[in-house]
C-alpha cells in the first residue's frame, strides 16, 4: 500500500509540474504580445487617441483624424484565408504606434496590434475608393465668398498686372470719376479671367477703393509737382 501511495503521489506531483509548467510556457509566450497591446492602447478601451511617443506630423494627423471619426471611412484588410474584407475598429487608430500603419516596411506595420486582441495587424490596409474621394474633397481648399474674404495678395497681383495694360495710356486723368470707373472695370475683368488661379472674385464695390489708389498713383506720377 505504501508503494502504491508513493507512486500515486509522484504521478500527482508530475502532473502538477507538467500543468503549471505548461501554464508558465504559455504565459511566457503570450506576455510580450499582451505587453505590446497594453503599451499601444492602455489597460482600458481608449475613447480618444493616446499621446504619441514621438513628434506629431500634420499630414499623418489629418488622415488619421478622418479614420478616427465615428462616421469616418472604414479601413479594412484582406484575410489570408477566404480573401474577405475585414473592417477595422476606428479605435485601432487611437494607439500610440498608429503612425506605423503608414510605414513602407511591412514589418513596421505588423507590430501594430489588432484592436481589441493582442494579435499583430495584417501588413496591408485599404480604403474604399469612395471614402478616399470624400477625404480628398473634404481637404480641398474651399472657395471663399462674401465681402469678408481675405484676398489682399490677389489684389496686389491684379494691380501689378494692370500696370502693363496698354489701356492705361488712354485714361483721362483729369476726369477722376471716369478714370476710376474704367480702372474698376479692368480690375473686374482681371479677377474674372484669373478666377481659376486665384479662386477669388470680389464684388465690384470692393474693387473701387483699389481703383482709386491706382488712379492716385497714376495722377501723382504724371504731375510735375507730385500733387
> pLDDT category, 122, cuts 50, 70, 90?
confident
Model confidence pLDDT, tens digit, residues 39-75: 888 888 788 999 999 888 887 888 888 889 888 888 8
Query: What is the DSSP code string of the chain?
Result: -HHHHHHHHHHHHHHHHHHHHHHHHHHHHHHHHHHHHHHHH-SS--SSPPPPSS---HHHHHHHHHHTSTTS---EEE-TTT--EEEPPGGGGGSTTGGGGG-SSHHHHHTSBPTTSSSBPPS--B--HHHHHHHHHHHSPPPP-STT---HHHHHHHHHHHHT-GGGGG--TT-HHHHHHHHHHHHHHHHHHTHHHH-----HHHHHHHHHHHHHHHHHHH-TT--
Top pLDDT among 107 and 142 is at: 107
Mean pLDDT check: name the lowest of 14-23, 30-39, 160-169.
14-23
Judged against a pLDDT cut of 70, whether residue 11 lies above it is answered with: no
Question: pLDDT for 214-223, tens place per residue?
Answer: 888 788 776 6
Q: Answer with the residue of higher pLDDT: 176 or 163.
A: 176
Amino acid at each position: 500500500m505504501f508503494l502504491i501511495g508513493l507512486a500515486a503521489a509522484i504521478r500527482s506531483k508530475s502532473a502538477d509540474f507538467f500543468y503549471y509548467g505548461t501554464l508558465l510556457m504559455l504565459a511566457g509566450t503570450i506576455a510580450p504580445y499582451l505587453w505590446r497591446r497594453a503599451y499601444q492602447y492602455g489597460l482600458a478601451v481608449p475613447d480618444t487617441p493616446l499621446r504619441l511617443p514621438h513628434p506629431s506630423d500634420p499630414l499623418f494627423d489629418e488622415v488619421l483624424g478622418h479614420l478616427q471619426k465615428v462616421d469616418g471611412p472604414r479601413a479594412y484588410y484582406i484575410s489570408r484565408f477566404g480573401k474577405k474584407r475585414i473592417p477595422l475598429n476606428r479605435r485601432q487608430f487611437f494607439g500610440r504606434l498608429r503612425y506605423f500603419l503608414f510605414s513602407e516596411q511591412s514589418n513596421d506595420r505588423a507590430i501594430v496590434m489588432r484592436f481589441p486582441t493582442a494579435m499583430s495587424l495584417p501588413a496591408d490596409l485599404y480604403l474604399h475608393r469612395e471614402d478616399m474621394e470624400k477625404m480628398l474633397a473634404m481637404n480641398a481648399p474651399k472657395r471663399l465668398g462674401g465681402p469678408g474674404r481675405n484676398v489682399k495678395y490677389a489684389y496686389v497681383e491684379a494691380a501689378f498686372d494692370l500696370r502693363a495694360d496698354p489701356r492705361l495710356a488712354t485714361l483721362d486723368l483729369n476726369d477722376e470719376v471716369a478714370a476710376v470707373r474704367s480702372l474698376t472695370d479692368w480690375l473686374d475683368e482681371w479677377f474674372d479671367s484669373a478666377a481659376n488661379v486665384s479662386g477669388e472674385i470680389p464684388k465690384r464695390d470692393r474693387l473701387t477703393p483699389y481703383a482709386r489708389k491706382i488712379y492716385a498713383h497714376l495722377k501723382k506720377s504724371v504731375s510735375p509737382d507730385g500733387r
